[in-house]
Amino acid sequence: MPAAKGPPAWLTPRRLDRLEQVTIILLWSLLVWRVLQSDNPMAPLVLIAETSIALFVLLRRPTENISMRLGDWLLAAAATYAPLLIIPSEEVWPALEPLAIALVFAGNAIQISGKLFLRRSFGIAPANRGIKRDGMYRFVRHPIYAGYLVTHIGIMLVMPSLINLVIYAIGWWAQILRIDAEEKLLGQDPDYRDYMQQTRWRLIPGIY
């Protein structure tokens, strides 16, 4: 049988990094435009988490130890870019506004804390940019994604719509598969296998 084709020679990890950065900045800019056009006073909440993602992607450290599988990149793109497609809608449940704001700020505190421990090791596609065990990483192996989950629940409470529900459903379907892909790559590192033994849960303590 012929050997499986790899990526074209010009498609290096560093060029993929740059393509990833350009794409997320373009989508973030479109999100800013939609938020500015929205009449929903809670719409700026969407920008809090997504702006931090854009900043950390721009400042991250390049790596050569990154997955070059198309499937892994598609999952990472779907999970990361889907929330940038959220469409600010009318507020339906004003009474839930305080809870929604609390969830958004709590989720952002969790995910930003995780990113600060990663510093410039943050990325989108599966890659080994160094194993972290401190801070939020003592509780779950993917605290940044846990923070996203809390934030997205808060955003849905103030911007509920069928399209936003579909966007988040697709994004989180890809997110779970993305976590599996990341752990397959990171599991090649003995340090990460040891970390998996110390920190059992991936996303939600006691559940997953």
Mean pLDDT confidence for 150-170: 93
pLDDT tens digits along 59-97:
766 555 566 666 777 777 788 888 888 988 887 788 888
Mapping DSSP to helix (H, G, I), strand (E, B) and coil, where does residue 175 land?
A: helix
Measured in residues, the chain has a length of: 208
pLDDT tens digits along 29-57:
999 999 888 888 888 888 877 887 777 77
Exposed e or buried b per residue across 117-151, where buried means at least 16 C-beta atoms within 10 angstroms of its C-beta: bbeebbbbbbbbbeebeeebbeebbbbbbbbbbbb
- Dist CA 40 CA 44 (whole Å): 9
- Dist CA 134 CA 129 (whole Å): 15
Q: Which residue has the tokens 């970390």?
A: 195
More confident of the two residues 58 and 27: 27
Instruction: Name the CA dihedral angle for 64, 144, 59, 7, rounded to a multiple of 10 degrees.
Output: 30
Task: Output the six-digit token pair for 48.
Answer: 């809090």
What does the mean pLDDT of the chain come to?
A: 81
